[in-house]
């Protein structure tokens, strides 16, 4: 644990699991000749079968996990989002929703509940989820609403070949492993991991990938030493999805910035951080397999990837503007008396969702569609011009 850290210590079982993850990383480093890029390390510690953070069964979401997402704070998050989803489905004449990485299932349950109340249920709600443990939690979370509404729920192992409807990604892109690139004195380096007798250590080697170097050179501020992320895997995923969207749209919600903000000169050490038991730390090598490791999203890159694949920007907004435009405050007003405990708790969650000092401005919502003219964004203020 870092000196002076306030992080809680993992228990013995968790530490044994982390040791197994470290052993697997050591083996991968040996096979690769002594060095693996940080992107490869992140793939292993987050997604390696039976070992990675997202697939090994530890509690991730909510008060007992490592972080809280918008849908976990209050069902009103999903109720508000359902208005945008309903608009897309109605305008395009489609009736499918596909969610990537549905977490605990809280968002799906809230969306389906709201759409049922509005008489606008999809014909199918499909979930692509890599974690067996999370699939089980999702089944439990969605079971009641699925039974009551008789909506068809399907779990997918891979992206469907075509998507007519809405594909929803809530806090997915931030968990896709980026390349971490450094420029010092005009020279380019790739950050990675090497093995040592007592564990793992960050290291660097010359960046040989001309495409990544060109992307970094175009995005990094000029004239200064700089370290940040380039995420070709996330861009490729968005492009792949965009090519498969026939009639409908892609809705992305995540924390991040436009390119001008992302690669600001003062943000010279990048955005990669770990989340452990509701604490944020800066060491990606701390307790591998036990921390959620994420980087902010470059929304300009994601919008560009979608446009190159044939979609158009229908809207881009802060989370606060989006949720308020979708009627979040009206939903809050219907919770009950303003002095009731239920109202006060929900109001506190809503404050977290929309406050500029919390999630309201940091989180963004990007809506891209085959024909943006047919699908209005419900956000109060569109800031697509900043992309």
Residue 1 lies inside a defined structural domain of this protein: no
Q: How many domains does the chain have?
A: 1
How many CB atoms lie under 10 A from the CB of residue 40? 18
CATH of the domain at 197: 3.40.50.12710
Residue 115 lies inside a defined structural domain of this protein: yes
Measured in whole angstroms, the distance separating CA 236 from the mean position of its chain's CA atoms is: 15
Asked whether residue 64 carries a pLDDT value surpassing 70, the answer given is no
Domain span at residue 22 reads 12-386
Residue 3 lies inside a defined structural domain of this protein: no
Asked whether residue 4 carries a pLDDT value surpassing 50, the answer given is no
Helical packing angle, 299-308 and 232-244, nearest 10° = 40
pLDDT digits (tens, 9 = 90+) for 117-129: 999 999 999 999 9
What's the pLDDT at 154? 95
What's the pLDDT at 147? 84
What's the pLDDT at 78? 98
pTM over 0.85: yes
Residue 288 lies inside a defined structural domain of this protein: yes
Residue 235 lies inside a defined structural domain of this protein: yes
Angle made by CA atoms 67, 70, 72, in degrees to the nearest 5: 70
pLDDT digits (tens, 9 = 90+) for 128-147: 998 888 899 999 989 888 88
Tokens matching residue 215: 């992307």
Residue 5 lies inside a defined structural domain of this protein: no
Residue 4 lies inside a defined structural domain of this protein: no
What three-state secondary structure class fits 208? coil
CB-based contact 138:99 (threshold 8 Å): no
Asked whether residue 5 carries a pLDDT value surpassing 90, the answer given is no
pLDDT digits (tens, 9 = 90+) for 168-195: 999 999 999 999 999 999 999 999 999 9
Q: What is the mean pLDDT of residues 234-261?
A: 97
Residue 370 lies inside a defined structural domain of this protein: yes
């Amino acid at each position: 644990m870092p000196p002076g850290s306030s992080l809680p210590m993992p228990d013995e079982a968790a530490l044994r699991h982390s040791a197994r993850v470290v052993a697997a990383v050591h083996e991968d480093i040996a096979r690769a000749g002594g060095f693996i890029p940080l992107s490869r390390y992140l793939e292993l510690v987050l997604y390696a079968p039976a070992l990675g953070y997202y697939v090994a069964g530890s509690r991730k979401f909510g008060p007992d996990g490592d972080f809280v997402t918008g849908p976990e704070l209050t069902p009103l998050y999903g109720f508000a989002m359902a208005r945008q989803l309903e608009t897309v489905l109605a305008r395009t004449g489609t009736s499918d929703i596909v969610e990537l990485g549905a977490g605990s299932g809280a968002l799906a349950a809230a969306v389906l509940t709201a759409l049922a109340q509005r008489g606008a249920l999809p014909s199918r709600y499909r979930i692509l989820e890599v974690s067996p443990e999370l699939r089980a939690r999702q089944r439990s979370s969605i079971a009641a609403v699925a039974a009551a509404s008789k909506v068809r729920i399907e779990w997918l192992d891979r992206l469907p070949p075509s998507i007519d409807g809405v594909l929803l990604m809530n806090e997915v892109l931030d968990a896709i492993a980026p390349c971490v690139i450094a420029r010092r004195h005009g020279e380019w380096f790739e950050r990675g991991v090497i093995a040592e007798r007592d564990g793992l250590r960050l290291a660097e080697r010359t960046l040989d990938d001309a495409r990544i170097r060109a992307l970094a050179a175009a995005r990094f501020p000029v004239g200064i030493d700089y370290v940040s992320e380039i995420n070709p895997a996330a861009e490729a995923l968005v492009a792949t999805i965009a090519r498969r969207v026939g009639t409908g749209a892609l809705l992305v919600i995540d924390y991040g910035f436009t390119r001008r903000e992302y690669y600001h000169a003062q943000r010279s050490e990048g955005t990669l951080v770990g989340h452990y038991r509701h604490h944020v730390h800066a060491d990606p090598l701390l307790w591998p397999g036990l921390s959620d490791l994420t980087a902010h999203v470059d929304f300009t890159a994601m919008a560009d990837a979608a446009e190159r694949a044939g979609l158009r920007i229908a809207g881009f907004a802060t989370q606060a503007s989006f949720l308020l435009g979708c009627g979040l405050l009206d939903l809050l007003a219907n919770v009950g008396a303003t002095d009731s405990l239920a109202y006060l708790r929900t109001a506190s969650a809503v404050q977290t969702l929309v406050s500029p000092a919390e999630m309201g401005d940091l989180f963004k919502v990007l809506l891209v569609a085959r024909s943006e003219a047919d699908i209005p964004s419900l956000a109060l203020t569109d800031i697509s011009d900043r992309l």
